[in-house]
């Protein structure tokens, strides 16, 4: 549940749309992984 809340907050604050199917568990395991994922997606 915490991961979903983080993703929803990112969408709201950054004005982006993330699809849960785009993410692997490893993409959100750590803050650095999440940052790398967002950079890879161009956000």
The torsion angle over the Cα atoms of residues 14, 30, 38 and 2, rounded to 10 degrees, is: -40
pLDDT of amino acid 43? 87
> Token pair of 18, please?
């993330």
Tens of pLDDT, residue by residue over 1-43, are 688 898 899 999 999 998 888 889 999 899 999 999 999 999 8
The 3-state DSSP composition of the chain as helix, strand, coil percent (nearest 5) reads: 70, 0, 30
pLDDT of amino acid 3? 84
Total number of domains constituting the chain: 1
pLDDT of amino acid 1? 66
Q: Is 7 helix (H, G, I), strand (E, B) or coil?
A: helix
Place of tokens 């709201």: 12
Q: Which domain holds residue 6?
A: 2-40
> Token pair of 7, please?
């993703």
């Amino acid at each position: 549940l915490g991961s979903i809340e983080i993703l929803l907050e990112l969408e709201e604050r950054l004005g982006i749309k993330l699809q849960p199917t785009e993410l692997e568990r490893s993409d959100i395991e750590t803050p650095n992984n999440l940052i790398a994922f967002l950079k890879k997606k161009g956000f």
